[in-house]
Amino acid sequence: MTRTTETVVDRYLTLVDRAAHEPEALKELEAVFVPRATVHFGELPPVTGLADITEFYRRLYSDMADSKHVWTTTVLDGGTIEVRFIMAWRTADGQLGSQSGIEHVTVNSDGLITELRVLIPQSDGV
């Protein structure tokens, strides 16, 4: 059985959307990640530690003028939080983009993210 609830992931996604036009919002990542958290983003090498995670997101959002996620959050039986999302963005030069995916998130007893895995489906080239 699964259940849906508001989680730290909701705060995380709202925060990264803000980062597109408010880069200083990334300072707030310490309120959602533990200091030694790990982020696995698609096929990229894992990023570990709050300072490296903050820099990763700073680079990721540096060319964006706007970003918006829409998502559903479900806590699975094993305690993993599954997030199904769609993201749309506009770059600084006006180009538009979108992506969907699934995140699997593990949190500690304080409700902070210890591990976040972003699974991006491969494009079929169509």
Q: What is the pLDDT of residue 21?
A: 87
Q: How far is CA 35 from CA 2, 26, 31, 32, 124, in A?
A: 29, 14, 10, 10, 37
CB atoms within 10 A of CB 56: 16
CATH number at residue 82: 3.10.450.50
- pLDDT tier for residue 78 given thresholds of 50, 70 and 90: confident
Decide if 124 is inside a domain.
no
Whether residue 126 is contained in a domain is answered as no
Q: Is residue 125 part of a domain?
A: no
What's the number of domains the chain is made of?
1
Residue 52 has pLDDT above 50, yes or no: yes
pLDDT bracket for residue 120 (50, 70, 90) = confident
- The answer to whether residue 18 sits within a structural domain is yes
Checking if the pLDDT of 26 tops 80, the result is yes
| pLDDT, tens digit, 9 for 90 and up, residues 94-104 | 999 999 999 99
Is 15 contained in some domain?
yes
Considering the domain boundaries, does residue 7 fall inside one? yes
pLDDT score recorded for residue 126:
41
- 3 state DSSP class of 30: helix
Instruction: Kindly tell me if the per-residue pLDDT of 4 is higher than 90.
Output: no
Asked, for residue 19, whether it belongs to a domain, the answer is yes
Q: What domain range is 9 assigned to?
A: 3-119
Q: What pLDDT is attached to residue 71?
A: 96
Percentage of residues in the chain having pLDDT higher than 70:
91
Q: How many CB atoms lie within 10 A of CB 116?
A: 23
Specify if 13 maps to a domain: yes
